[in-house]
Amino acid sequence: MASKLGMGSLYCMLFLLFIVSQNPVSGRNKVLDPKKPCKQFVLYYHDILFGGDDVANATSAAATNATKLGNTYFGMLVVFDDPVTKDQHLLSHPVARAQGFYFYDMKTDYNAWFAYTLIFNSTDHKGTLNIMGADMMMEKTRDLSVVGGTGAYPNKSNKKQYKPCKELSFYMHDILYNGHNLENSTSAIIGAPKGFNLTHLADPISWFGDLVVFDNPLTLDNNLHSQPIGKAQGFYLYDSKIPYSAWHGFSFVLNTTDYKGSIDMVGANADILGQPVRNLSIVGGTGDFFMHRGIASLMSDDIQGEAYFRLKFDLKFYECW
């Protein structure tokens, strides 16, 4: 990271992943034993921070500037799309990609908060694992939380054999602010705006490093003008240099006669144009969705250039309290 290595340098991080089993429905009837994980493996991920002239090799870049609060890069946001290998060699064949972000969040010492997805596509593993937490960088070993997954890792264990305990479908509508549509827009680029992209790594259409905040209407059908049944509120950031790929963190906030509460989702919406169906992790909820967890499958239902897009979400819950 930039704290010790300087801008434009390489670091390699060792991951020991321990996945602890839970009850497939609620997780309430099984005592967890962190010393006996149901699955574990070792991975290395490699980060080459963009230094201004290494566009071809860089895998991460600062998307915002650091503040003046201390000398620890406080406030700097770094977006990454890093190769993951089984050994510590950068040139080994990657078994996954680590896509997401971290930001420096401590004034007096080097500390970063991470949120990212390991995307697997090998003969051994297919799917994603979503990871987040505080990386206390001055400590030799740090722990982050595996909060969910998809494919071979739905909710941290293989639950493809289980039937969902609840299913819902919604449409989300996004109208990006373009400087002239203040009344109608529902989202806006707030970091590394187009035309001033601080990373300078992006293909002209990939928007690598751009951070978008949204407050989008949810409907039961694909009509933008239908009565909203809730809001989708959160953010996404473009985290890949070449194809459209974004990392999402957001909530569905519902307030209808049928449902009241929120549904929280995180994960990599990878290869938006190449993959017809992408999956995010449902990591929690409130109200009628208290402690619910599962998989959110999303499909691009309509894309009208940069102005408007519509996503269809199929939600499948595997833990319903």
The structural domains of the chain, with segments of one domain joined by +, span 2-156, 166-319
Tell me how long the chain is: 321
Provide, rounded to the nearest whole percent, the portion of the chain with pLDDT above 90: 50
At 158, is the pLDDT very low, low, confident or very high (cuts 50, 70, 90)? very low
Is the per-residue pLDDT at 27 higher than 60?
Answer: no
Average pLDDT over every residue of 293-308 = 90
Architecture of domain 166-319: Beta Barrel (2.40)
What pLDDT, on a 0 to 100 scale, did the predictor assign at position 221? Answer: 97
Q: Given a cut of 90, is residue 7 above it in pLDDT?
A: no
pTM of the model: 0.82
Q: What is the mean pLDDT of residues 30-45?
A: 76
For residue 157, the model assigns a pLDDT of: 46
What are the pLDDT digits (tens) for 178-210?
A: 888 999 999 998 887 565 566 667 666 678 888
Range in 93-102, 121-130, 224-233 the model is least confident about: 121-130
pLDDT for 205 equals 67
pLDDT higher than 70, residue 168: yes
Is 16's pLDDT higher than 70? no
Percent of the chain with pLDDT over 70: 82
- Residue 11 pLDDT more than 80? no
Tens of pLDDT, residues 79-98: 999 999 999 999 999 999 99
Mean pLDDT for the chain? 84
